[in-house]
Amino acid sequence: MKKSVISMLFVILLLFVAACDGGASKNADGAIGDDGYYESGDNGGYNDNYDTGDSNAPYPEDSTDTGSSYEPGADPAEPGYEDWESSDSEMSGDDMPTEPAEEPNPGELIENGWVETATENTSTFSIDVDTASYTLIRNYLMKSNYMPPKDRVRIEEMINYFDYDYPQPEEGKPFSVTMEMADSPWRSDTKLVMFGLQGKALDPDKVPAHNLVFLIDVSGSMFGEDRLGLLKKSFKKLVEKLDKDDKVSIVTYAGSAGVLLDSVSGDKKDEIISALDELEAGGSTAGAAGIKTAYELAEKNYSKDANNRIILATDGDFNVGIYDTSELVSYIETERNKGIYLTILGFGMGNYQDDRMEQLSNAGNGNYFYVDNERESDKIFTYDLMGTMFTIAKDVKLQVVFNPEKIAKYRLIGYENRVMANEDFNDDTKDAGEIGAGHRVTAFYEVFLTKKSGPAETPETPETPETDPEEGDDPAEPAPEEGEGEPAAEPESEFGEDDFLVLKMRYKEPDQDISKYMDTVMTSANILAEMSQNMGFASSVAEFGMLLRDSKFKADSSYDSVLKRAKANIGKDTFGFRGEFLELVEIAKTLDK
C-alpha cells in the first residue's frame, strides 16, 4: 500500500515538473510561444479573437479553397467572410493572422416620401458629387456576386457617377442649369423632373497650383494589391500630372502618424514616387492622429493662391486615438474654415467603413471616391479627381418651389442625407456641397400634376428662362459689399400662368463667405414628349437604384425596363462605363430572385 502511494506521488511530481518545463517556453519579455504571436506590450487588443489561418491564401474572390468560411456569393460585409488583408497587426506573410470582418451596423433605410404641395410646396437640399456608392455596388455585384446591402445604395451617387452632355455656363456664371420634365417610366400617373448643373471648365492657363498632402493609411489592414498596392499605382498617376508650381507632402499613419515628405516640388517626381514605393503595411490604425498631422502640415504650407487639399486614402478602420465619427467630423469642420479641403479615397472591402468616409468628406468640403480596381483608378486620377480638386462654387444649395396650381405632390429621389430645412437656404452659416471645375450634378423629383395643369405643349427644343443677381427679368438684389454679412435676397416666388416650379440656387465663390443667388423657372417649354438622352440614361440609373433598395416607391420598375432605356440612351460611351452599367443590371437581375 505504501509503495502504491509513493508511486502515485512520484507520478504527480513528474507531471508537475513537465508542466513547469512547458511553461519555460514563455519568452522573457512576456510573449507566449516561440513565434511571439501575443505580445505583452500595448497591442490595443487587436489580436483578440483572431484566427490564425493561412494568410498567404489567395484573395477569397479568386480562390476556390482558402481554408476560410468564404463561399462564392457570400456578402463581404457579413460575419464569416474572412478578409485576410484586414489585420491591424504588425506582422505579415506567414505570421499574419486572418481577421473575420465584423458585421457593419447598417443605417436605417430612409427614403424621401411624397409631400403635398398644398401643405408644403418648398424642398431644399445640398448638392452631392460623390460617386463612392456606385463603385461599392459594382464591387458587390461583379466581384462578390452578391446583392449590395440596401443602406449602401445612395441613388444620387449612382446617377452622378456618369457624365452627361450639359452645356457650359454663360460667361460670369459658375454653372449652367438644364431642366426637363417627362413621363415617369415606372408610373403612368406621374412625371419626372430632372435638374442638371454643369460646372464651368477652367482655362488651363488659369489653373491654380496644387498644395497637396497625401494622407496614407499604412496600417496592417491596408496590406494587399487591391489596397496599398492599388493606392501606390493610383497616386503615381496623380504625381505624373504635377509640375514645378505644385507641392506635395506625405503623411502616413499606422500605430502613430509621421511625416514622410514635406512640401516637395511637383517636378521632383522621382523623389515623390520613391517615397510611395517604400510604403509598407503594418500596425494598428491611428487615423485621427494622421488627420491631425496632415492638417497641421497643410496649414504650415498653406498658400492663399493654391488649391490646398488633403487627400486621405484608407479603408476607414480607425482603431487608435479619436475614433468616434462625430468627434472627427467636429474637428474637420473646424479645420475646413481655414481653406483646406479634404478628399477621401476608399480602398478594400470586408471591414470597410463607408458611412464614416462619406461623413468625413462632407465635413471637409471635399469629395468621396471608392477605388476598387485599376480601371476605376484611371477614371478617378486622370479625370474626376482633377476636376473636383478645383472648387468653383462652394456651399451650393438647391431649393425647389412648386406651383400648387400645377403640381399636387412631389418627392425627391435620393439625397436623403442631403435634405436641408427650408430656412437653411438663406443661412450662410449652413454647410452644403461643392462643385468642381467641369463637374456635373444631376437630381430628380417625381411629381403628380394637378388636373388644372392640363395638357402641355412640348416643343422639340426646350428653353429654360433664367434670372440671377446680375441679369434677367426679375433679378435678385445684388450681393452686399464685403463686411455687410448678409446674402443677396431672392425675389418672391410669384408664379406665372405657365410656371410649374422655380429652382432657386445659392452658392459661394471659393474665397467668399457670402452667398450669391440664381433662379430658373420651369414652364411647359421644358416638358418633353420623349426623354432626352441625358434624362433617359440618368433615369435608368435612378430606377436601378430603387430596385436595389427595394424601394417602396419603385412601382412598376423592372430590370428589363432599366436595360431597355439604358441601351436606347447609352450614347457615345467613350470610356465604356455605361456599357459596364448594363452588365451590372444583368447580374442584379440574375441575383434578385
In terms of average pLDDT, the best of 14-23, 231-240, 449-458 is 231-240
Q: What is the mean pLDDT of the chain?
A: 78
Can you tell me which residue has the cell 436595389?
Answer: 548
Residues 6+ apart with CB under 8 A from 213: 248, 249, 250, 251, 294, 297, 298, 301, 309, 310, 311
Three-state secondary structure call for residue 119: coil
* pLDDT over threshold 90, residue 310: yes
Q: What is the pLDDT of residues 324-354, one digit of tens each?
A: 678 888 888 888 888 899 999 999 876 677 7
pLDDT at 196: 98
Q: Chain centroid to CA 498: how far? A: 39
Mean pLDDT computed over 158-181: 95
How far, CA to CA in Å, does 574 sit from each of 377, 429, 584?
16, 41, 18
Report whether 196 contacts 535 (CB < 8 A): no
Under 8 Å between Cβ of 391 and 202: no
Whole-number pLDDT of residue 170: 92
Q: What is the pLDDT of residues 349-387, one digit of tens each?
A: 766 777 788 888 888 888 899 998 999 999 888 777 766
- When pLDDT is averaged across residues 424-433 and rounded to a whole number, the result is 94
For residue 35, pLDDT beyond 60: no
Give the list of residues 6+ apart from residue 439 with CB closer than 8 angstroms, or none.
129, 199, 387, 388
Place 467 in a pLDDT band, splitting at 50, 70 and 90: very low
Supply the DSSP string of 369-430, one letter for each residue. EEE-SHHHHHHIIIIIHHHHTSEEEEEEEEEEEE-TTTEEEEEEES-GGGEE-GGGGG-TTS
Model confidence at 593, in pLDDT bands (50, 70, 90)? confident
Grid coordinates representing 161 are: 457617377
- Go through the chain and tell me how many residues it has: 593
- Report the DSSP beta bridge partners of residue 407: 449
Question: Distance between CA atoms of 385 and 383, rounded to whole angstroms?
Answer: 6
290: its cell numbers? 494622421
pTM over 0.85: no
Cell of 551: 424601394
Residue 87: per-residue pLDDT: 36
Complete domains list, the chain, with CATH = 115-129+166-202+392-479+491-526 (2.60.40.1230), 208-389 (3.40.50.410), 533-591 (no CATH)
CA distance 123 to 441: 17
Average the pLDDT over 137-164 and give the result.
94
Which tens digits make up the pLDDT trace of 74-94?
Answer: 444 443 333 333 333 333 333
- Cell numbers that stand for 84 in this block: 485576410
Q: Alpha-carbon distance 429 to 236, whole Å?
A: 37
Q: Contact at 8 Å (CB) between 298 and 306?
A: no
Q: What is the pLDDT of residue 221?
A: 85
418 phi, psi to nearest 5 deg: -115, 0
**Bridge partners, 122 (sequence order):** 401
Pairing mode, strands 391-402 and 99-100? unpaired
- Residue 322, pLDDT score: 53
